[in-house]
Amino acid sequence: MVTDNDQKKLQTLQEIIYQKIGLEKSIQEIPKLLGAQEEVLSALKKKFIEKNTEYENVKSEEIDLKNKLFETENLREKNEKKMEMVTHREFELLEKETKDLAEKEHQLRKDLQQKEKLLSELDTHIKQQTSMIEQQEKELEDRRKKIEAEVTDKKNQIDSLRKKENKLTENLDAEVVFKFERIIKNKEGVGIVAIKGNVCMGCHMILPVQFANEVRIGEEFVFCPYCSRILFYEESAEGEEDYFNTEDTGALSDLDDIEDEDYDDDDEEEEIINIDSETDD
């Protein structure tokens, strides 16, 4: 027999289970919160690696340019010294070669300046990224510690709620409790509702009289066939009309009687029409 005390237990249990579900859901959402920040950190590190690689490549190019510049300067200086002790014909050849070397030297210096400028920019960018990575790592670590504390607190709350839940469900059917918890998860925290005037207050569907009587008698827990919530009977307020008149509620066989009556009415109407036409004749 389902007592008023059982109904009150379920209503209290409903609140406890809903709180527990909310806490468990918030714990499950935590990895997503950390995941977003970890993705930002990962993206920063990826860019840092790319810029570092670019810096190393440019640095290698800079060294190569410096070596070429050094060789070009040496050749030009040697040619300039030779020009003092050669014939006119040789002088013209050395002069042209020296001029070409000077132009090459000028271009190398220009290219070198560009590389040095690029290296400086990359170095600044790398330093900024390093600072951002360190900041993100610190923020992530601080957030992890804060979340760990929150998770511990929520788990303690869940343990406390479970103890209350176990105490309330000691004398309740385990299968009913299992279904009840699933209903609460699926129905936004509402697993037990009243039935008034043959109407479920959860889904507002009209229920058969026999079904409503089963709820009123309360021999066992009854689940709404439409929304699956557990039902308990609640008298309508004084002066408030029932949602559904029991006199208007019938079995499926009543539909056949209604159809037969409609058929008889059609026959009578057809017979009247025939009599009228005979009279006219």
Query: Mind listing the pLDDT tens digit for each residue in 215-236?
Result: 999 889 999 999 999 999 887 6
With CA atoms as reference, report the closest residue to 129 among 70, 36, 35, 44. Answer: 44
CA distance 123 to 117: 10
Under DSSP, the state recorded for 83 is G
Which residues make Cβ contacts (< 8 Å) with residue 202, sequence separation at least 6?
Answer: 187, 190, 193, 224, 227, 229
Residue type, 223: F
CA distance 78 to 85: 12
What is the pLDDT at residue 271?
42
> Which CB contacts under 8 angstroms, 24+ apart, belong to 248-257?
249/198, 249/208, 249/209
Query: Mind listing the pLDDT tens digit for each residue in 3-46?
Result: 788 888 899 999 999 999 999 999 998 888 788 889 999 999 99
Residue type, 221: F
With CA atoms as reference, report the closest residue to 212 among 227, 222, 202, 204. Answer: 222
Q: Where are the domains of the chain?
A: 4-168, 175-248
Pick the CATH number of 4-168 from 1.10.287.1490, 3.30.465.10, 3.50.30.30, 1.10.390.10: 1.10.287.1490
